[in-house]
Structure 1
Amino acid sequence: MSQLNSLLNITKTKKSRLEEVDFDNLQFGKNYADHMMYCDYIDGEWQKPVIAPYGPMSFEPSVKVFHYGQAVFEGMKAFKDDHDDVWLFRPEDNLNRINISSKRMAIPEFPKEYFMESLKTLMQLDKDWVKKGQGNSLYIRPFAIATEPGVSASESNQYRFMIITCPAKAYYSKPVKVLIAQDYSRSADGGVGYAKAAGNYGAQFYPTKLAKEKGLDQIIWTDANTHQYMEEAGTMNIFFRINDKLLTAPTNDRILDGITRRSIIQLAKDEGLDVEIDRVEVKRIIDAAKAGELKEIFGAGTAATIVAVEGFEYDDTYYDLPEMKDSFGMHFKKRLQDIQYNRAEDPHNWRFKI
């Protein structure tokens, strides 16, 4: 690791906390690996990144992230194959997306060299936190926040970019029930829906809480103007299968350009499936459900990979979905995970070996 010292300041932990973690009973996001990265933006440039033991940090109460929400993040995973090699999945796509998000939030873009070397170093230091076996991974959370003290309503001139990691198992352990939104909106034209801005997720919590009080798990968001077109589901992009056609909404300034979403679309096209990327009208889905033509709905995202939807509610009517033996969702989940765990060929060069 000495060759990286010119790019990074590295302080290793004196004692690993690995033995304190029950890897058989993980709760997502509750246990963190031994090391983290942070890098400060001061006087118009990013400083030298620091790798240090994971732990608390001190900020003044007036830092702008607390007051004006200048914060963006990403979600990634590292996987370990049967030979103890560690792999990332499309990491440069995550860097490109966080920089797109940063630009929308007036945060300086983070350099590729710092990002990739920091990731590699963290994975090398905390390799034992990446467990082998189906469903096991190390979740990686890069994020950037505004750190200039001051409550004036303007963008910050200081920032901190960080990467923390936590061991993870499957995010959803069973299929979910969803509510198709008719009142609340996730994002609007010209807004920040396409960015992974922290406020996007905070604004979802209350409507999702109302859905959970009705016995549902998540919301399929619809367009803010008419609530007639499907967009995203909770923290995931959403796919619909009508007979043997796969439908998903196009990305725009309201919808996140999901990396898992793009991967599924590519794999489906590789197999010659009929993939329709167009606005998905709520009425079309309801009519297909009533006619028995709606075979499945599934969400796609980094944390969940793919999660099946067992039913949905719209206009106070609940629609059950059939159990599919030839589920597209489960098929593509296996295809993706076989690539991620280095069990299958990687024709698109998505894997990145640590």
Structure 2
Amino acid sequence: MSELNRVLEGGEQDRVAAAMPLSTAAAAWLASIEERVERGTRSPSTLDLYRHAVKRHVVPQLGELLLAETTTARLDRFLQGVLRTKGYATAKLCRTILSGICGWAVRQGGLTTNPVRDVTPLELDRDRTAKALTPSEVHEWLSVLDEDEFARRRDLPELARFVLATGLRLGEALGVRWSDIDFDRGVVSVERTVIRVNGKGLIASRLKSRSSYRVLVLPGWCLTMLRARGDRLGISDGPVFADAKGGYRDRNNVGAAFRRVRQGTQFEWVTPHTYRKTVATILDSSGASARMIADQLGHSRISMTQDVYMGRRAVTSAMAEVLESLEGSTDGGIARNE
């Protein structure tokens, strides 16, 4: 029997009260997330992330508190401590988890209000926000990849160009299959992401939100690169950026490969997320609207009216025209990792 059922069945729901330890409530809340994963409404990678943060951060410091003791003041001190010692991203994750746990406790009668609601807002240090590459830096960085033997063996030059041409998340880019590319129309359909799940290994998973499913027009130089790649590899289906056995690549391994190449260069700050920031910055400087950029990147932070009544799958060639400026570094060097 799951922790959620153990707590709620047999009349125990009436005893989900102020005397329950936060660790017990956390386990029950995680079980509810697991059920949503099984229904396909949450990503298994999200569940793994929550489990890790609960085990490493929340339970060690707050697990012995009773629900009656989970005051706004205590949770605020915890989150500000995490912010100082672990950084904004971890603090934000812990806040999301605590809000979920306490929300679950409110619905079960263990709390009357969610104490996370009034904690101090978490603010990201502006100096630590993602930095974008300038167009000249894009060409310099691509030259670094082109000239690095290890990068070429790991297929990084073409992968970097593909992400810069689309703004895809790394997992999304690694999940693109040849059948997702329509060369006649010049578009790519974003249908999946590659993640590693505890107990299951590497899988192609559903995307994180409805807005992540999108069709993007590809810049002409990217289509040329992909055609040449397909001809060179002689593959009609499977992942476009496959591993040695033709399967999906682990984004963690790919990230590690990028880190190895940039070590000791002027681009040590560049991460796969930098490519998305770069695409957004270039589109913004071209005059593209926030809505157009959100559609390109697969973001969901738009109003309900836009979500429900405005098509997010419409193909817009203007985005590809702007990204033509990111063509390879030298000699039209689009596919230089033969």
TM over 0.5: no
Structure with the higher strand share, 1 or 2:
1
Q: Considering only CA atoms, is the larger Rg found in Structure 1 or Structure 2?
A: 2
TM normalised by structure 2 equals 0.29
